[in-house]
A and B are shown apart, each in its own frame.
Chain A
C-alpha cells in the first residue's frame, strides 16, 4: 500500500540525509544543545528493539522553567475539546495540557531573529509531478473492510451538520 506512493515521491529516499543536516544546524541553538541527549543511540545486537527511547532521556533545566504556569480556562478546554474531538475535562487532562503549554512555551526562548522559518525539511526539493492517468481505485470492498458500519457501498457516519431550522420552525411539533 505504501510502496507505490513512496516510489512516486522520489524525495523520500534521501530524507534521512537532509534531516541529519538540519539536526547539525539546529544543534548550534541553545535549546537544541540541551536536548542533544535525546538523540537515540543505536542498539547493537537487538535488531527488533525500538529506536525510540521508552523514557525521557533528558530533563528540563532550572533556567528553562518559564516564569508562570499557564492559565487553562474552561473556554479554552471547551474550544480544544471541540477541535480535537477529545474529552479531557478532568484533573489529569488539565494538568497535562498545562504542562504541554509550558513545554511549548520554551520555544519562545530560541532566538529566531533573522531566521527564515522552515516549512519542511523537504522545502529545497523538487515537487514531483505525475502524469494525469488513472492507476488507482476500484477497491471499495477492501476500503470498506476498515469500516465499522456500512450500507451498501457507503461508509456510515453519525449525523453531521445540517442547516439550522428557522426559529419558528423549531417550535413546531
Chain B
C-alpha cells in the first residue's frame, strides 16, 4: 500500500557531474549507509551472515526445519506476505503526458502536474488502465467494473503534492492467484507447485527520487519518476520463507514480461518488493510483523526475508519482543535494520480524490452503444488478446517437443532462451530433445560462466542449428562438436562447416585408416588384448577410448567398435 520507491535505484548515467558523484555516499535505502560501516563490522553481523548462508543452502521448504534452535523443541513458523510495485510499461505517466524513461537528465520528464503546480489536474492514461486490467486477468483476478481513486497524504520532498493518488477503497482488480513452482530437493525435477492469493491490484503514482548528500546535509530531488504509473500488487501472507517469495516474484516477473504490462526489471526499479514478515509457534496466532522495504534485487530477496525471519526468532527466543516497524535491507551487510521515517503509526489521512470521477471499465455486454472507443476499456477485448502466459508456454513446450518439464522451466525462466531454442528448431531437423540439451547445458552453461544474457550470446540460433545438423548427419563426432562449439564461442564470424574444414575435424570413416590406427594400438597394449579375448568385454571400452584419443575424437565410434570386435573375436 505504501509508496516505497524513493530509493535511488541505480546511479544516473551523468556520473561526471557533481551531483552524480554525490550518489555513492548519498543513496538512501540499501547500501546507503555502507561507507559508515567501513572497518567496524560488528561480530554479530558476521555471525548473522554465516547463519544466513546456512539458511540459503538448505533446500527444505518450511522454515520450521531451518530454525530449530537448540533448547526449544517446538519449531517456529514464519509467515511472509509481499507488496510488489510494478512500474507500468507506458510512454507517458499515469496522470500526465510527460515521458517515462529510465536515466534521463534530472527533471527533464516533468510536467506542471507532476511538479504539482497550482491549477493542474490529473488526466488518466488509458494504457495504464489496460495494463492493470491485463495483469489482473492474467492473475485470475476479478476486475472491478467500478474503481475509485484516493489521496494518501504524507510529507516527503519527492512527493510535491503532499499526497499520492492511489486506489485504497476500491482497487481495479481483486481476489486473484499466482501459481508458481519451487525446488524442493537438490535435483531439478524435485519441484512443488504452490499458490499465493493476490488480494488486490491498485493503480497508483510513483514518487520522485531523492539523492541524499549527508555531508552537505541536503537532498537533491529529481521528479522524472514522479507520477509514473505503478501497479501495486498486494499478496496474502501465503508464503513461509525467502525461497518461496523469490520463486513467486520470479514467476510474476515472467508473467508481466509476457504481458508487456511492465518491463519488471528489478535493477532499474521497475519491480520493487516489500515483504511483511512475522513468526509464531504452530497453532498460535500470527506474531507481530515487520515490513522489510525496498528489496530491489532478485538475488537478495530470499536473503533479506530469511535474515528477518531468523532475527525475529532469535529476538523472541531471547525473551524480546518484535516491534511493528519498517526495516530496510542492507545488501552489503546482509542484514535488516529499522528505518527512522516510519516510526510510530502513520496517519495517511486517506480521502477520495476529488478531481477524478470513478473509473468504469466495461465488458462486451455492458458496453454502452455509440460510445467513443477511445474512451472505453473493454475487459473482454483484453482477455481475448491475452498472450501466452509462462505456465501455458511450459506445457506447450513439453507437449509439442516432448522435452522434460524441468527443461521447459529453464527455457521459459531464462530470458530469451525459449526463443533461441525455437529458432534453432526452425532451421534444423535435429530432434528437439537433443537440441534442448545443447541449449541448456552448453549454451546456457557458457553464458552463465561469463555472466551473459541470451541476447549477448556469441553463437546465433542458426549457427547452433548448423553445428547440430553436422553432428546429426554423422559428419562430425560429438567430441568434435563440443570442440567446434568452443571455437565458435571464442571466434565469432566463422561457420561450423568452415571450422570443421579448416581444422580437418571431419569424422574419420575411412575403414583402412582406422584399421591402421587400431592395429597400432592393439600392438601397444597386448595385455588388454589378451584379457578381452579371455572374455573381459569391458576392457574393449578402454581401447575405444585410446583410438579416440589417437584420432582426437574424430573417429566414427560405431565403426571403431565394429573393427575392434572383429579383430578381437
Residues of A participating in the B interface, judged by any CB pair closer than 8 Å: 1-2, 5-6, 8-9, 11-12, 79, 83, 85, 119-120, 122-140, 143-144, 146, 151-166, 168-169, 172
Contact = CB atoms under 8 A, between A and B. Distances in A.
25 contacts: A12-B121, A124-B357, A130-B123, A130-B126, A132-B126, A132-B127, A134-B98, A134-B99, A136-B112, A138-B109, A140-B107, A143-B223, A151-B19, A151-B218, A154-B211, A155-B157, A157-B210, A159-B214, A159-B219, A160-B157, A161-B28, A161-B340, A163-B32, A168-B42, A172-B40
Main secondary structure of the interface of A (DSSP, over half): loop
Contacts of B219: 156-160
B348 to A, nearest CB: 10
A97 to B, nearest CB: 16
B357 A85 contact: no
Contact of B106 (A6, A153, A166): A153
Given A5-B123, A138-B108, A162 B357 contact: no
A130 B360 contact: no
A124 B357 CA distance: 7
Contact of A127 (B33, B120, B359): B359
A152 B218 CA distance: 14
A21 to B, nearest CB: 15
Contacts of A143: 107, 110, 112, 115, 223
A132 B228 CA distance: 12
B113 to A, nearest CB: 7
B328 A163 contact: yes
B135 interface: no
Given A132-B127, A158-B218, A159-B218, A164 B339 contact: yes
Nearest to A119: B352
Most buried by A among B40, B127, B211, B358: B358
A138 B330 CA distance: 35
B119 A1 contact: yes
Interface stretch (B88-96, B243-251, B302-310): B88-96
Given A161-B339, A162-B33, A130 B125 contact: yes
B105 A129 contact: no
Given A129-B129, A151-B19, A160-B341, A169 B36 contact: yes
A13 B19 CA distance: 45
A129 B375 contact: yes
Contact of A163 (B33, B115, B120, B155): B33
Interface in B204-218: 210-214, 217-218
A57 B249 CA distance: 60
Nearest to B349: A83
A131 B117 CA distance: 23
A134 B357 contact: no
B564 to A, nearest CB: 70
Contacts of B212: 159-160, 162
A1 B346 CA distance: 34
B91 A132 contact: yes
B337 A165 contact: yes
Task: Name the residue in A130, A139, A163 with the highest tally of chain B Cβ atoms < 10 Å from its Cβ.
Answer: A163
B354 interface: yes
Of the listed residues B109, B153, B155, B357, the one surrounded by the most CB atoms of chain A closer than 10 A to its CB is B357
A17 B54 CA distance: 68
B102 interface: no
Given A134-B91, A136-B96, A172-B40, A160 B156 contact: yes
Contacts of B222: 153-155
A169 B357 contact: no
B17 interface: yes
A14 B96 CA distance: 22
Given A134-B92, A156-B219, A2 B120 contact: yes
B220 interface: yes
B50 interface: no
A152 B112 CA distance: 19
Contacts of B109: 137-138
Contact of A9 (B121, B223, B359): B121
B223 A155 contact: yes
B18 A133 contact: no
A-B pairs, 5 with minimum CB distance: A161-B341, A157-B157, A132-B127, A136-B111, A119-B352
A126 B29 CA distance: 40
B405 interface: no
Contact of A162 (B90, B105, B115, B340): B340
A133 B29 CA distance: 32
Contacts of B356: 122, 127
B150 to A, nearest CB: 9
B121 A120 contact: no
B377 interface: yes
Interface in B163-221: 210-214, 217-221
A123 B121 contact: no
Given A124-B357, A154-B221, A154-B222, A165 B97 contact: no
A135 B337 CA distance: 42
Given A139-B110, A140-B110, A158-B157, A151 B220 contact: yes
Contacts of B569: none
A131 B157 contact: no
B340 A127 contact: no
B370 interface: no
Contacts of A161: 28, 156, 339-341
Given A1-B112, A137-B98, A164 B374 contact: no
A165 B328 CA distance: 11
B124 interface: yes
B155 A85 contact: yes
Interface in B293-344: 328, 330, 337-341
Contacts of B377: 129
Contacts of B354: 119-120, 122
B107 A155 contact: yes
Contact of B97 (A1, A135, A146, A158): A135
A131 to B, nearest CB: 6
Contact of B218 (A156, A165, A169): A156
Given A120-B352, A143-B115, A161-B340, A136 B221 contact: no
